[in-house]
Amino acid sequence: MQRASERTVMVHLTHEGEYFGPLGPFEVPLGWWSSVDGVVERAAELAGVPVLVVRLAEGVSETGGHGGRVAYHAEALRRPVGPAGPAARPMDAGTAALLGPAERRAAWATPEGLRAALDWAAQELARIGRPAAGPARQIRTWNLSGLFRIPTTGGPDAWLKTTTPAFNARESEVIALLGGADPTLVPPVLAADPAGGRLLLDHVPGEDCWEPSAEAVADVVPRLVAAQAAFAADGRAAAAGLRDRTPRTLLAQAQALLDRLPGESDLTAEELAAARRLVGELPALLDELAACGLPETLVHGDFHPGNWRSDGERSVVVDYADACLGHPALDGLRPRQYLAPERWEQFVSVWEQAWREHAPQARPRRALELVEPLYHLSYAVRYQEFLDHIETSERPYHEGDPAAEIRAALACGR
C-alpha cells in the first residue's frame, strides 16, 4: 500500500495543568506519526511559545502509524499570553478523557516526565563540560522511544534517547559489549541512566543508510560479524543480562504466544492450527540450524540499513533497544526487505564470507535459508511485547503485527 506523504494534525496544548488547545488542524509534510519535529514547529508558531509533543493522543488512518488524521498532546514550555496566543479554557469531557492518565504510559509521555528527561540531559552535558548551547529539538516520540537533538558548547550535537526499560535492552551496556571488540562500530555514549531508560549519545556524522552503497555494506557487515564472533568466543553471553532469544527459547516463546492469540488477533482457526503444526515441526529445523556451526551471540535485533550510519568512509550501527542473545542469522536476514535485489545478493555474499573467516567450518548461507520461519516468529514475539507494554492510544502502531509475522512464517515453507 502506498504511504501518505503527509498527515492532518490537531494539537491539544497544555501548560502545567492548564488547557490552551486545540491548535489546528494543520498539515505536516511527513506522514509518520512518530516524526514530530514538524508538529512542534507549527504548534509553536500557533501558540506563540516553545512547545514539545508529549504523546500521540489519537490517530485514524488506513495504515496505522502513518498519514490520516492525528491528535497530539503538547506541553507549552512557557505559559501562552497575549492577544495573539491561545487562551486557557476548561476541558470538555472528551478532551479530558483523551489527555487523562492511562495504564502503561511511557515515562517520557507526560509533561513531568518529558521535562525530567530533558533536565537530566542538561545536567549530564554540564557535568562532562559540554553544556547545552540551545533548546533541544524534538525529533521523534512514540511508544518505543523519544529522540531529541541538543546543540552543545565545545562539541558536536548530542542526542537524547528515552526508552522503556521493561521491554528494551539497556543500550549503553550493549554498546559497551560490542564496543569492547570494535569501538568504532558503535556510537559514543556521553551518559546513561539504564534504570530510567535514558541515553545520551554523541553525534555520529553522516547519513542513515536506507539505500546503502556497496562500500557501506562491505564496511559495516564484516565489522558487526567480527564483534559478534568475539562476543561469542569470550564466554560473556550468559552473564551479559541480554533477553534470551536463542532458538529453543524462542520456540517456547512462540508456542506461548500462539496459546494466547485466539482471543487477541484475527488469525483464523485454520491459521492457528497450521502455526501450531509449524512450531511442532521446528525442533528438527533447529537441529539443522545448529549444525550450520554459527555461535549464539549478541544479536542487534533490528539490523536494517536505516540503523547503519555512514559518512562515506566508516559506518556506525545505532539503535540497540532490540538487542538480545540469539542466532546471528536473525540479523543476517533482517536487511533483505530493505535492499534492492543486487544489494541483497552482495550483502549475503559479504555476510557469508565474514562468518567463514571466524568459523571456517560453518555454513552461513544455509543458516540464512533455514532461519526464516524462526525469524518471523521472533518478530511476532517482539511485537507482542510492544503491545503488552504500551498504552491503548499507541496500539495502532503495532496492532496486527504479531499475526502478520505468524502468517509470514507460515508462508516460508521448507
The larger pLDDT score, comparing residue 186 to residue 60, is at 186
Q: Mean pLDDT across the stretch 311-316?
A: 92
Beta strands 137-141 and 146-150, pairing class: antiparallel
Residue 64 pLDDT exceeds 80 = no
Q: For residues 221 and 228, what is the distance between their CA atoms, to the nearest angstrom? A: 11
- 7-99 fold: Nucleoside Triphosphate Pyrophosphohydrolase (3.90.79)
Q: Give the H/E segment covering residue 382.
A: helix 372-389
Range in 240-249, 268-277, 285-294 the model is least confident about: 240-249
- 207-412 fold: Aminoglycoside 3'-phosphotransferase; Chain: A, domain 2 (3.90.1200)
Which amino acid, one-letter code, is at 31?
Answer: G
Cross-strand partners of 146: 141, 162
Residue 414 pLDDT exceeds 70 = no
Q: What's the pLDDT score for residue 347? A: 98
Q: Mean pLDDT across the stretch 81-92?
A: 83
Range in 165-169, 211-215, 332-336, 396-400 the model is least confident about: 396-400
**Residues 365-395: pLDDT tens digits?**
999 999 999 999 999 999 999 999 999 888 8
Those residues whose C-beta lies under 8 Å from the C-beta of residue 182, and which sit 6 or more positions away, are 223, 226, 227
Q: Mean pLDDT across the stretch 184-209?
A: 96
Residue 4 pLDDT exceeds 70 = no
- 328, 294 Cβ separation under 8 angstroms: yes
Residue 20 pLDDT exceeds 70 = yes
Max avg pLDDT among 79-88, 255-264, 383-392: 383-392
| Cell of residue 228, nine digits | 559478534
Q: Where are the domains of the chain?
A: 7-99, 111-202, 207-412
Residue 248 pLDDT exceeds 70 = yes
- Res. 86 pLDDT band, cuts 50 70 90: confident
Q: What's the pLDDT score for residue 84? A: 64
Q: For residues 9 and 159, what is the distance between their CA atoms, to the nearest angstrom? A: 26
- Res. 236 pLDDT band, cuts 50 70 90: low
Q: What's the pLDDT score for residue 1? A: 42
Residue 2 pLDDT exceeds 60 = no
- 95, 33 Cβ separation under 8 angstroms: no
- Res. 31 pLDDT band, cuts 50 70 90: confident
Mean pLDDT of the chain: 93
- Res. 413 pLDDT band, cuts 50 70 90: low
Percent of the chain at pLDDT above 70? 96
Q: What's the pLDDT score for residue 240? A: 66
Q: What is the CATH number of domain 111-202?
A: 3.30.200.20
Q: For residues 179 and 185, what is the distance between their CA atoms, to the nearest angstrom? A: 7
Q: Mean pLDDT across the stretch 132-151?
A: 96
